Amino acid sequence: MRMRNLWTKAGVLGSVSMAFGSMFWSHKKTEPTQTDSGSAPACTEPPFPYELKLVQVLFRHGARTPLKSIPDVMEAQWVPNLLEPPAHTQINYVVTDLEGGPRPSSPVEDSYRANILTGGTYPGQLTTVGMQQLYELGERLRKRYIQATAFLNPTFSPTEVYVRSTNIVRTIESAKCLVAGLFHQSQSDMVPILTTEAESEILYPNYHGCRLLKLLSGHRWAASSTLPDIAADLRSIKSALGIAAHQRVDFILIRDDMVARETHGLPCPPVLDSWRNTVEQRAVEMIYHIYEPSKRENLQLCVGPLLHTLMDNIEDKLQDTTSEPNRKLFLYSAHDTTLIPCLMALGIFDMRWPPYAADITLELHQHRQTKEAFVKVSYIGQDQLIPGCNGVYCPLQEFKQALSNYSLTSELYESLCNHTEGVADP
């Protein structure tokens, strides 16, 4: 019983905001730097001297059922036919652990399935809309890397493409749908989707796998609702919605349910119309407080091992030390709580919640003559200028320096996570 409560609590801490996002969101484009051949927009080939060597895509799952409904308000009907998979998203795939063995158990997923939403579905499940969103992300990648550049083979091959997901059904299904869109269901082999057990997951801030992170950040989830402006607005919106004072509600939960309803055309309480912008703003302010990017250690523990993995993939490709020399694409299916701290660490978080199916894409380019390496980062298809880089095509050493404050080896991460002596809640 104690273990079940622990995982239920971990679900609240580690995944309460794993999948919040909005289709009704716009992103300001960062202008790319000028080159001899003009500007370098996100969807064209780099200037002639550069060769694309490797692509890594870290993406959020698609639209889903809410993690929890707003209490005491008009409930939406989350019926099973909202989760029907479109035929064009079907592929042959298998879910394994990182070594190719059986898929590990998923206590986070188990915690979702302990509850049923009004209408008969489980919380946190990928919907038909979400499946289509990931299929369309796959098609966008197809246009760039298969049709425009012939960088990838048009048929999926596991030696060329690596797929990893958090061990949660919605991210696994999202990965499947992206692959279906990228290769139009053409595959030479079974698509392996790799996962790991919850304790060692690096694709989201791992509160139950890192004791120090839980100590430093866990209490900030509750504290974020008590910040003066947020607390005042929360009291007002609870009163306007008729939510009882004893109910535990915050702006992240309200936003999650609100955006899920809007995305699927389900009715929201009419009073939310006038509160929508405030809900968006306060939810982002809460998550900013939780991740506390001004404190290096917090972001290190949130995404340090993931950033180190992305850099390792780049180094392995350049030094030809990878066990899969033909590998060109890494796909990582994750959550908003993955993308937000990554954007913060990269210095490009714009105080907007990442929408469903948002992606951060890292491209590795190499100068054909000098062999100098460059990294280009895009977010939702728009090139980004990383602070510390002198251009959108960022020299590798500058990029490594930009990430050096936050990247952590697995050994250092484990050492820090276990070093809780003398650390008190701030």
- The residues that are catalytic are 61, 336
Of 6, 8, 12, nearest to 248 by C-alpha is 12
Classify burial at 126, counting beta carbons within 10 Å of its beta carbon; exposed 0-12, middle 13-18, buried 19 or more: buried
Q: Across-strand partners of 329?
A: 55, 161
Give every CB contact of residue 139 below 8 A, 6+ residues apart in sequence: 181, 182
Secondary structure element (H or E) that encloses residue 289, with its range: helix 276-291
CB 46 within 8 A of CB 376: yes
Q: Where are the beta strands (DSSP E) in 278-386?
A: 329-334, 359-367, 373-379, 382-384
What CA–CA distance (Å, rounded) separates 304 from 412?
A: 10
What CA–CA distance (Å, rounded) separates 392 from 379?
A: 12
Q: Is 257 helix (H, G, I), strand (E, B) or coil?
A: helix
What CA–CA distance (Å, rounded) separates 62 from 56?
A: 18
Q: Across-strand partners of 361?
A: 57, 378
